[in-house]
């Protein structure tokens, strides 16, 4: 989807909709399955300081591969945008309280922007929490974690603690 964000800001446009994940090729390459959608709410406008902004929220339920066990893991994304729209060469300070967004080309590809934001929301090295990772038994305790590994990796330790707390209350 191509838009002129500056005109959108002047018109105070609000966009809301679902973007199919399969349209986001760069992101799709990192996902385990590209079914589903990103739910997007965007608000263009101009604030009282005259800064043209793009605010919004992106939500998605992604599935990525755990780098420890190579099984899929769910990755919940719920991020907020607050971007100040700038023309190329404009001083970044003009974005005011917003994160500066240089708009190199008008119209701009809105889906590219959304995809960039989603890519940034992915973990560098996706890994399940150790307690729920199917490969946990094969993992050597890491360096300094070694001393506490016995209790840390035992899912029943939490239960035991809860039990103690409950019985204390009685």
Give residues in contact with Zn ion (CB under 5 A): 66, 68-69, 128, 133
How far apart are CB 154 and Zn ion at their closest, in Å? 18
How far apart are CB 129 and Zn ion at their closest, in Å? 9
Residue (76 or 170) nearer to Zn ion, CB: 76
Per DSSP, the residues of 76-116 read EEEEEEEEEEE-TT--GGGGTTSEEEE--SSSEEHHHHHHH
DSSP state of 144: G
Residue (94 or 136) nearer to Zn ion, CB: 136
Residue (18 or 71) nearer to Zn ion, CB: 71
How far apart are CB 71 and Zn ion at their closest, in Å? 5
Residue whose CB is nearest to Zn ion in the complex, by number: 66
How far apart are CB 140 and Zn ion at their closest, in Å? 15
DSSP β-bridge partners for residue 54:
44, 83
Residue (31 or 66) nearer to Zn ion, CB: 66
Give residues with Cβ within 8 angstroms of 73, minimum separation 6. Answer: 63, 64, 65, 66, 126, 127, 128
CA dist., res. 11 & res. 4, Å (int): 11
């Amino acid at each position: 989807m191509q838009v002129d964000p500056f005109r959108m800001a002047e018109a105070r446009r609000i966009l809301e909709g679902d973007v199919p994940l399969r349209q986001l090729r760069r992101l799709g390459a990192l996902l385990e399955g590209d079914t589903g959608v990103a739910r997007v709410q965007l608000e263009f406008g101009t604030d009282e300081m005259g800064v043209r902004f793009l605010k919004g929220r992106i939500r998605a339920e992604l599935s990525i591969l755990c780098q420890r066990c190579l099984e899929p893991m769910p990755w919940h994304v719920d991020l907020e945008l607050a971007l100040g729209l700038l023309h190329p060469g404009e001083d970044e300070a003009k974005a005011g309280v917003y994160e500066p967004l240089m708009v190199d080309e008008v119209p701009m590809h809105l889906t590219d922007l959304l995809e960039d934001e989603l890519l940034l929301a992915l973990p560098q090295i996706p890994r399940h929490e150790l307690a729920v990772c199917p490969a946990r038994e094969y993992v050597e305790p890491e360096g300094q974690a070694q001393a506490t590994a016995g209790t840390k990796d035992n899912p029943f330790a939490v239960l035991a603690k809860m039990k103690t707390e409950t019985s204390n209350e009685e």
